[in-house]
């Protein structure tokens, strides 16, 4: 249910909008602003006064909000699912900050400039069998809600990247050790994903070595 903010108790609509942005981790979209009952002109007023900045088309942040490309990408392209090295980082399974944002989008989805705006964004278009597999909701480093793959799907993607010769050795070691040492690991789920992704042999090898 969308809250509509009214001016009460001496507070102005500007104050309400700033409060709304703070409640949204300091970063919102024009659509969210309108759905909450504010006008786009009020948002532009905050920008003109230096209270907020425009980060991307339709994405705005309070001026003191930490930079967070994970959040901007997610807000601008809501169907984006962060994957592989990016989701491993979001899970805290590696301390290697992604140099490339790896994301999944449904096959046929119009990217509308994602790579043009974020040249370090690597897009994987997936069919119905893969897009949506292992997707969970969490938060970006600055607290914006976003979608990314769970630990098991992330591990399978990393193994597939290793098969193609694309996996960073340090990342592979950190992620594998973090996963198999974690009490939250779900090995049956891992094997289910491995079967769907044709990675059973590789995952079984890691199970034998690290479990």
pLDDT digit string (tens) for 154-167?
999 999 999 999 88
Asked whether residue 2 carries a pLDDT value surpassing 80, the answer given is no
In this predicted structure, what is the pLDDT of residue 53?
98
In this predicted structure, what is the pLDDT of residue 5?
44
Helices 169-181 and 151-163 cross at an angle (nearest 10°) of 150
Q: Which residues share a beta bridge with 3?
A: none
Q: Are 58 and 72 in contact (CB under 8 A)?
A: no
CATH of the domain spanning 13-65:
1.10.10
Higher pLDDT, 11 or 192: 192
Query: Average pLDDT of the chain?
Result: 93
Q: Are 84 and 104 in contact (CB under 8 A)?
A: no
Give me the mean pLDDT over the 136-147 stretch.
Answer: 98
Asked whether residue 91 carries a pLDDT value surpassing 60, the answer given is yes
In this predicted structure, what is the pLDDT of residue 4?
46
In this predicted structure, what is the pLDDT of residue 8?
52
pLDDT bracket for residue 45 (50, 70, 90): very high
Give the Cβ contact number of residue 115 at 10 Å: 11
Higher pLDDT, 73 or 209: 73
CA–CA gap between residue 204 and residue 194 (Å, rounded): 9
CA–CA gap between residue 136 and residue 127 (Å, rounded): 18
| Long-range own/partner contacts, residues 198-205 (CB < 8 A, 24 or more apart) | 199/156, 199/159, 199/160, 199/163, 202/159, 202/162, 202/163, 203/155, 203/156, 203/159
**Rounded to two decimals, what is the model's pTM?**
0.91
pLDDT digit string (tens) for 143-156?
999 999 999 999 99
Residue limits of CATH 1.10.10 in the chain: 13-65
């Amino acid at each position: 249910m969308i809250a509509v903010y009214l001016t009460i108790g001496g507070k102005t609509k500007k104050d309400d909008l700033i409060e709304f942005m703070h409640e949204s981790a300091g970063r919102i979209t024009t659509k969210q602003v309108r759905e909450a009952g504010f006008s786009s002109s009020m948002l532009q007023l905050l920008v003109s006064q230096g209270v907020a900045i425009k980060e991307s088309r339709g994405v705005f942040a309070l001026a003191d909000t930490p930079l967070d490309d994970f959040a901007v990408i997610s807000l601008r392209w809501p169907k984006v699912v962060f994957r592989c090295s990016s989701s491993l980082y979001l899970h805290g399974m590696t301390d290697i900050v992604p140099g490339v944002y790896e994301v999944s989008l449904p096959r046929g989805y119009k990217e509308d400039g994602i790579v043009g705006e974020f040249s370090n964004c690597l897009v994987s278009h997936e069919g119905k069998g893969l897009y949506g597999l292992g997707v969970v909701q969490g938060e970006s480093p600055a607290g914006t809600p976003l979608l990314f793959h769970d630990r098991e799907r992330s591990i399978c993607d990393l193994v597939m990247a290793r098969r193609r010769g694309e996996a960073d050795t340090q990342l592979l070691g950190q992620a594998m050790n973090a996963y198999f040492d974690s009490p939250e690991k779900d090995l049956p789920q891992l094997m289910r994903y491995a079967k769907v992704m044709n990675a059973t042999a590789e995952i079984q090898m890691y199970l034998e070595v690290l479990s």
